[in-house]
Structure 1
Amino acid sequence: MTVHVDAREAAQMVLHAKIRVPARPGPLTLVYPKWIPGDHGPTGNVADIMGLRISAGGKSLPWRRDPERTSEFAVNVPAGSNAVDVDLDVVVETRFGATAGASDLNWHRVVLYPKGARPRDLQVEARADIPPDWRYATPLSVASEGGGTLTFKPVSLEMLVDSPVILGRYGRSIDLGTALGAPHSMELVAETEDALAVNEKQIAAYRALVGEAAALFGARHYDRYTFLYLLSSAVEDGSGFEHHRSSLDVAPASIFSKEDDFRSARWLLAHEFAHSWNGKYRRPKGTPHSTTKSRCTTSCSGFTKG
């Protein structure tokens, strides 16, 4: 598969995607992710799709949405075709504090894939166009960058969905040191440069977190770890989402400038970091979802079913 996301209108809360899906002639059902790894239930919001166009060889193909399984779209691939092209428009979700100056790209919101396919077996070549002069951060490996376009090294669909991108007018990268042979960093994006003013005492606390996790767990399961931190004026409290090699965290833009805000939200990165071991790398048998009251949860087993 190939996925090319145009995020240049992220400030207007719109994402555009072009997806090419290898396919054989005949009936094909494409699905929009429903069970999102890390969420409590079938939270993939197909209602956020604003436009869907499917074609093959440059010719538009009629599609039919299943009246009961509303995340499924049926189409007939014409003879002589080996792929279908999907144009997808979706609204930017606001759960991670997206504003006109900072946003996120969660890949499950901009893909359709063949029903029945295993996400870990589908290889994806992904690209993203970002707004001019905006900064970005992601755990994905970037193969090339130029003209506002990021081209990522191929990964499985499973890993792509587990590797968000954050975008903002301003950004800062902070090295948190190496533990158990793996580098760790905190990547900040924000609407204003003032929000990035992390002091040395605060940085020291996060560096200590990395060392404490290494001492607690005694092993690591990733080649590097990235704390993705989106600082937004649209949120009043911290929230996050765990991933295998990263976490997507959001906090008020004042978290580093106001000691009370820092004190109230400093637990967040530690909480999501621990879920990389407990919930992502390992999940207790018989407990597919977390019982915590926070927003973050353990992973579901797939995209289309729990």
Structure 2
Amino acid sequence: MNTTTGLAGMILSMAAGGAWAQSPRVPPPADVAYPGTIRLEVDATDIQRHIFRVHEEIPVAPGKLTLLYPAWLPGKHAPRGPIDKLAGLVTSANGHRLEWQRDPLDVYAFHLDIPQGVDTLSVDFQYLSPQEPAQGRVVMTPDMLNLQWDAVALYPAGHAARRITFAPSVKLPGGWHYAGALDLPAGATPNEPASDGVARFKPVDFETLVDSPLFAGRHFKRIELAGNAPVHLNLFADAARFLAATPAQLKLHENLVVQARKLFGSQHYDHYDFLLALTNQLGGIGLEHSRSSENSGDPGYFTEWDKHAPGRGLLPHEFTHSWNGKFRRPVGSATANYNVPMDDGLLWVYEGQTQYWGFVLAARSGLWSSEQTRDALALVAATYADNRPGFAWRNVQDTTQDPIIAARRALPYRNWQMSEDYYSAGQLIWLAVDAKLRELTGDKRSLDDFARAFFGIDDGSWAISTYDFDDVVAALDGVAHHDWARFLRERIDGHAPPLDGLAASGWKLVYRDKPSAFEKANQGGRRGWDYSASLGFVVGGKDGRISDVCWDGAAFNAGVTPTSTIVAVNGRAWSNDELDDAITAAVGSTAPIELLLKDGNLYRSVRLDYHGGLRFPHLERIEGSADRLSAILAPR
């Protein structure tokens, strides 16, 4: 891997601050090579019990040694390393056990005293991966697994991650294939373990290893996509029938690679692997890496294509991260190792602009039609028009701390507390920036020019190139002169949802009594049924459980609470169709809508005096305005 830019200064600045104060017994990372190569062997064959068994051989010298389990994980923006899943840790040398001691101030650190005459430390432990979602994300099933190397490795403190070399291998169940970005030794067969069931990889620095997870499974297909460097779509499925992708569907994924290259004018990988699990057994994921991405979709992603349009926005988002977040990275996110705190303050660029380009590339590639993209954007706009009263006390900038504050746990009042709004509110901010650039230049320049200038540098390199707020402002000013610092800070620090980019793009948010086909496909799944614009709550699933209630809205003031379950609507058993019918019937009536709710073992009735009808978000053209949104979404 290429050299990380500005590493020495980065180490000093990141080790000095942050929300997590390092224990004084843990040596800070230095830009010094660790002597020798660490052998890492993972046995992933115990799929029944969901256990990864790990053996490491670490070159050592007599004296103090601290081993670290990765805590601050790239792409997760928080100290979420699953240390609670590590068990059975035994360290030994020359056939004798050496006792370790966990640091009392840093549970991710293990201290040892290496005696004279010892040059190799043996480390054995198990990673007890979740067996059900309540324990965490499931990464092993009878048909596939997701191996993230940071979960199965201890590494020596005192060195930058990129200066520590590992020789990794993994033993897989019989008959399984695998895919990932790691390079293979000469003579190895791609995607197939050796005859002993072990997949071995070339020695690699720890930074690249952590950035190169793998998927493995019994039902596998590998498709080569177009591009200036090899790009592959690696499919793993719960059953072989779900791998049946048509040439037309694959062409759209090929278009994604082509359109991304046209947008950024570069690529920051020598080869790239989309890892896509088509599953309802493996835990859901969307996680970026320099030369790959971990993704999951519904088993019917291909075989029920028309039903799963919302899920096709994931790959464009994660692919964009190869440029934004992996290659170009906020200085506070580019830490020297995985136990130095991150500063998440620029996530509205890292994730917010990626969310913007994810929508754009979905449209330009054809994974979404222009209409589907507008319908998806309408859902985002409606969220900020109807269901983010939390802007009264928070702003987008403050939500960049949410990966640390909330750790992506469910919240009692998501709309009032807010959480990670730097994604979608950030997306709306970048829509406003794009529209402004086009307005300032008579529609001759756009955010595409920023993308090429900012992310398109150093074609072919995947060394980390860091940036700060001033660098973003300077690059925008290079496209069109404006007070960009003020423009951005007004929206990032302000207390109004950043919706102005929609009108500046020639479109407005309207409501109709029928959902778009895109929203209908989204209903009942991850999003549930969103009645925020009418009754003021969101129903999270088919069981009628309410997942969010608009703070200080009609339902809130009537006593409806999150986690209540709707049992009946106007005396009839709950269904979303029954609730829709009741809302429609109330338009010409003065009678309230009556809900029977269940809270624990208590039942109660609430009456909602609402007569505004069903309200589903759509976008509508503003007559006489420039249609900049259509220009943004048009393929290049």
TM-score of the superposition, structure 2-length normalised? 0.45
The structure 2 residue matched to 1:165, chosen from 177, 202, 214, is 214
CA distance, structure 2, for counterparts of residue 109 and residue 10 of structure 1: 16
Give the one of 85, 109, 123 matched to 1:86: 123
Separation in 2 of the partners of 1:199 and 1:102? 23
Instruction: Identify the residue that residue 126 of structure 1 maps to in structure 2.
Output: 168
1:150 CA drift (Å): 0.8
1:234 aligns with 2:281: yes
Q: 1:37 aligns with which of 74, 81, 88?
A: 74
The yes-or-no answer on 1:259 pairing with 2:305 is: yes
Correspondence for 2:84: 47
- 2:106 pairs with 1:73: no
- Asked if the contact 1:25/1:82 (under 8 Å) is kept, the reply is yes
Question: What SS class does the counterpart of residue 12 from structure 1 fall into?
Answer: coil
Residues 103 and 286 (structure 1), Cα distance of their counterparts in 2 relative to 1, 3 Å cut: closer
Equivalent position SS for 2:116:
coil
Q: Any idea what SS the aligned residue of 2:321 has?
A: helix
Letter in 1 for 2:165: Q
Residues in 2 aligned to 1:262 and 1:127: alpha-carbon distance in whole angstroms? 36
Provide the C-alpha distance between the structure 2 equivalents of 1:73 and 1:4, rounded to a whole number of angstroms.
Answer: 20
Which residue does 1:214 correspond to in 2?
261
Aligned runs of 1:141-156 on 2, under 5 Å? 141-143=183-185, 144=188, 145-156=194-205
Native 8 Å contact 2:129 2:138 kept in 1? no
Q: Cα offset for 1:10?
A: 3.1
Deviation at 1:62, TM superposition (A): 1.0
Structure 1 residue 191 displacement after superposition: 2.3
Q: Distance in 2 between matches of 1:222 and 1:153?
A: 17
Partners of 2:281 and 2:238 lie apart in 1 by 10
Alignment-mate amino acid for residue 281 of structure 1: F
Distance in structure 2 (CA, Å) of the matches to 1:215 and 1:11 = 45
Q: Mind listing any 5+ residue stretches in structure 2 that lack a counterpart?
A: 1-37, 131-135, 189-193, 334-342, 356-407, 409-419, 424-463, 465-636
The counterpart of 1:190, out of the listed 215, 237, 252, is 237
Deviation for aligned residue 1:88: 1.5
Contact 2:145/2:282 (CA < 8 Å) preserved in 1?
A: no
> In structure 2, do the counterparts of structure 1 residues 50 and 286 end up closer, same or farther at CA, with 3 Å as the change threshold?
closer
TM-superposition CA deviations, 1:212-267 (whole Å, max 9, x none): 0010000112111110111212369x641000001010112221111244311111
Query: Any idea what SS the aligned residue of 2:151 has?
Result: helix
Q: Which runs of 4+ in 1 moved over 3 A?
A: 284-289, 291-298
Q: Tell me the TM-score normalized by structure 1.
A: 0.90
Is the partner of 1:7 in helix, strand or coil?
Answer: strand
Looking at structure 2, the residues matched to 272 and 253 of structure 1 have their Cα atoms a distance apart, in angstroms, of 19
Shifted more, 210-219 versus 194-203: the winner is: 194-203
Aligned equivalents of 1:122, 1:243: Cα separation in 2: 19
Pair 1:203–1:141, CA change in 2 (3 A): same
Equivalent position SS for 1:278: coil
Higher strand proportion: 1
Distance change (3 Å), C-alpha of 1:141 and 1:63: same
Report the equivalent of 2:49.
12
Task: Give the residue type in structure 1 aligned to 2:124.
Answer: D
Take 2:208 and 2:300, find their aligned partners in 1: how far apart are those partners? 32
Matched, 1:204 2:251: yes
Aligned twin of 2:99 = 62
Match of residue 271 from structure 1: 317
Deviates more, 1:125-134 or 1:94-103: 94-103
Offset of residue 11 of structure 1: 4.1
TM-fit CA distance, 1:92: 2.4
Equivalent residue for 1:24?
A: 61
**Residue 3 (str. 1) matches residue 40 (str. 2):** yes
Q: Deviations over 1:33-60 (max 9, x none)?
A: 0111111211101110121110011211
Paired residue secondary structure (2:295): strand
Counterpart of 1:304 in structure 2 is: none
Q: In 2 relative to 1, CA 29–235 (structure 1 residues): closer, same or farther, beyond 3 Å?
A: closer
Change (3 A) 1:96 1:273: farther
Three-state SS of the structure 1 residue aligned to 2:74 is coil
Instruction: Please give the secondary structure, in 1, of the residue aligned with 2:45.
Output: coil
Matching residue's letter, 2:221: R
CA contact (8 A) 1:235 1:252 kept: no
Q: Which has the larger radius of gyration?
A: 2
Q: Pairwise CA RMSD of aligned residues?
A: 2.3
Q: Secondary structure at the match of 1:167?
A: strand
C-alpha displacement of 1:97: 5.5
Number of aligned positions between the proteins: 296
Residue pair 1:11, 1:101 contacting (<8 A) in 2 also: no
The answer to whether the Cα contact below 8 Å between 1:239 and 1:268 also exists between their aligned partners in 2 is: no
- Number of the residue aligned with 2:180: 138
Structure 2 counterpart of 1:173, which letter? R
Q: CA separation of 1:285/1:127 partners in 2, compared to 1, >3 Å: closer, same or farther?
A: closer
The 8 Å contact of residues 17 and 110 in structure 1, kept in 2 or not, is answered as yes
Q: Is the 1:52–1:86 Cα contact (8 Å) retained in structure 2?
A: yes
Structure 1, unaligned runs of 5 or more: 302-306
